[in-house]
Structure 1
């Protein structure tokens, strides 16, 4: 491999990549992606990697700053990969994400929305209620690191706190690292997952935090290690689970029967969940997202609604409050059962849930042969292209598509508009992950004749 020339060079930043790096051009036209640089800036950069069609670099000095540049709150910014945009003010971040969405729709889907929705935003700090912390014992440093991966994913960032994670967890990362470092199994714990619901009233009259930690461990934990973890959990008001194997191996360590709940007060709903279940990471934004989706769907009291990739029923159960019937379909059987339990918990009788792999042939599924009026879907990053090709789309008056990956939304929007005769009436972004380059978006489609 040829040696990389790390001599600093001047770069004019013209755009932002999908992962939050500035875009510049070499004199020969080759693209350079510059970490820590913003559109409109002139920087000195140093090359870090070379590829055939583009180079990578990092900012070493800002010669001319963009008006949107701000001082990052976190001292680990630029090393920890948890955030890529802390140097960009909030307005600049969400407008950049909006440009990413519109560019993807035009470039990949060859579609343009008739209306661009106002961005949805909520709290920018202390919002992250679900995540995975990496753990690594570093003998050269004589310590155990707990945190997110560095920009070089081979390493774990040496952090004591995180400002985007809910404070109950984010302010205790250093304490969590000290706990793991004190364990006999400190070299055999690769990760700790955290998840937070609402505080739970206790029998003692006090509310318990509703926050759970799940320790993945590669070898059995000694009685002393388990006692240390329980003492930490009791001191910080956490429930704690152990995971010695796959997802099915997760079991509570303390208390004996932990309760995890989150509520959606606008719809008078409470959801029970398990520590590794998927829930939206930003509670405040989640409520706004559901309200926006329901408004765009415009379901009427007599409608039957199909909700695909339904999970725990995050959209299904709010929909059930205002329509004749809603059918939720989800690939993971455990989530389907918990969605059914949540419907029963909330006294909802007009919601059905089915387990089905939405990336496979669905022709034998009974719900596929039922009539529906409207469709809501919230697929994973891979999108919903296969299931859309199987659905009898003519039955729907509207489709609302919630997306966590703008490229897959753009691809599927192109299919709906250019091959199936739909119109993209509206699209916009939602800041589910402030200070990261992650783009969450929502789109509404209607049949062209409508």
Structure 2
């Protein structure tokens, strides 16, 4: 008789331990220490005692989730959004806004102090309203065959599944009010099973929407969308995956900044938090100490968010950006606002810039606003220009700290640091730093 060997199933029990949370990292995770190891605990706050379960155990650190909260911090607040525990958009709605800002500022200080080899304090926190601030959002769309329903919302943390949101209190009130009627409109389309996502943007002249559709739209669907746009006074654009959008209205979106009218395409990058952006631009102008005879270089300039307001003050301002469409939009806005002393160039700033026509124009002040990858490719050239002042705006403290080292080694002094609370209730940490030539 044949005999078959069956291995005994290995049973593993996830370790549960009790810890006291000592700190909060900038990503909203509680920080505890157990037997010499740092443990990052999602959902826990400083001063709280909690029973936790390890979800990841490495040699240097571990991650855990709260099994049972044994004590509660005064800084713990009730999340305003009913989707907070499932939606991956926000990570810190359970944390008092003051503590959110403090933890991010402390993390920024630690990282910059390490590079500067001295204590670098954060001088100020630039913030706006913590709710209703987000003027741009992309909502995913998923058709569920089993339930025959359309889901519309943000993705769950570490998942491709969408949370079918009913509200989103960090969106501007005008955009949040569109969620329910928009879902109903999309459910009634013949193309409901072949939709990709919707982009909602709050311009100063009203809300706009971009609908990504995977197949050509039936004429009935276009008519329904046009009626929806008229009813909700919404600028509507259709995206079929080609280079250009199809506009269902003639209005062009714009926003105002420092008494300038800045038009933009729905595909263009604009800062999500208008209130913080306005303060950030004003602070950059102040820190650069702009004078009428200054020549200012703005690297990674986008569509001129800093360049155009700077151009109102100085002799000459030059913006350089890698995305050609943003350069065209920036140049258009310079003409629209009669700024003849402002010019824009397109160049990949990760490549050599020494032979570019703008590279040797004798700039005495420089501003950088790179993406998360930082500005490593251009830092050496910035040093060669020897500007009196450099303002670096960052959305990634790691690359900011790395690029700061180039300026510090070249004799620049780190003078001012501000934490930008551009994305309250999330893990994003943005900042701006002033360097002066000693």
1:15 and 2:20 are equivalent in the alignment: no
Residue of structure 1 in register with 2:341 after alignment: 350
1:435 and 2:431 are equivalent in the alignment: no
* DSSP-derived class of the 2:406 partner: helix
Q: CA deviation at 1:177?
A: 2.3
* C-alpha separation in 1, matches of 2:348 and 2:386: 22
Distance 1:331 1:179, change over 3 A: same
Residue of structure 2 in register with 1:249 after alignment: 244
Q: CA deviation at 1:115?
A: 5.4
Q: CA deviation at 1:119?
A: 0.6
Greater alpha carbon shift after TM alignment, 120-129 vs 42-51: 42-51
Distance 1:61 1:233, change over 3 A: farther
Contact 1:230 1:240 in 2 (8 A): yes
Which of these residues, 86, 95, 114, is aligned with residue 93 of structure 2?
Answer: 86
* C-alpha separation in 1, matches of 2:26 and 2:144: 32
Residue of structure 1 in register with 2:150 after alignment: 144
* DSSP-derived class of the 2:303 partner: coil
* DSSP-derived class of the 1:96 partner: helix
* DSSP-derived class of the 2:372 partner: coil
Which of these residues, 96, 99, 109, is aligned with residue 102 of structure 1?
Answer: 109
Residue of structure 2 in register with 1:227 after alignment: 223
* C-alpha separation in 1, matches of 2:255 and 2:382: 32
* DSSP-derived class of the 2:112 partner: helix
Distance 1:219 1:70, change over 3 A: same
Q: CA deviation at 1:324?
A: 0.9
* DSSP-derived class of the 1:196 partner: strand
Distance 1:326 1:359, change over 3 A: same
* C-alpha separation in 2, matches of 1:16 and 1:188: 42
Contact 1:336 1:355 in 2 (8 A): yes
* C-alpha separation in 1, matches of 2:18 and 2:184: 43
* DSSP-derived class of the 1:95 partner: helix
Higher relative contact order (CA 8 A, sep 6+): 1
Q: CA deviation at 1:168?
A: 1.5
* C-alpha separation in 2, matches of 1:5 and 1:435: 33
Q: CA RMSD in A?
A: 2.0
Greater alpha carbon shift after TM alignment, 78-87 vs 185-194: 185-194
TM-score by length of structure 1 reads 0.90
Distance 1:298 1:447, change over 3 A: same
Contact 1:373 1:397 in 2 (8 A): yes
Residue of structure 2 in register with 1:204 after alignment: none
Contact 2:105 2:122 in 1 (8 A): no
Residue of structure 1 in register with 2:160 after alignment: 154
Q: CA deviation at 1:71?
A: 0.9
Contact 1:113 1:427 in 2 (8 A): no
Write the mapping of 1:392-411 to structure 2, written as runs, cut at 5 A: 392-411=383-402
1:217 and 2:213 are equivalent in the alignment: yes
For structure 1, the residue ranges without an aligned partner over 5 or more in a row are 200-208
Contact 1:144 1:178 in 2 (8 A): no
Q: CA deviation at 1:345?
A: 0.8
Q: CA deviation at 1:39?
A: 2.1
Contact 1:111 1:414 in 2 (8 A): no
* C-alpha separation in 1, matches of 2:51 and 2:298: 49
1:271 and 2:278 are equivalent in the alignment: no
Contact 1:126 1:164 in 2 (8 A): yes
* C-alpha separation in 1, matches of 2:85 and 2:34: 23
* Residues 309-338 of structure 1: CA deviation (Å, up to 9, x unaligned): 111111111111111111111111111111
Contact 2:363 2:385 in 1 (8 A): no
Tell which structure's C-alpha radius of gyration is larger.
Answer: 2
* C-alpha separation in 1, matches of 2:12 and 2:134: 38
Distance 1:350 1:292, change over 3 A: same
Residue of structure 1 in register with 2:139 after alignment: 133
Residue of structure 2 in register with 1:203 after alignment: none
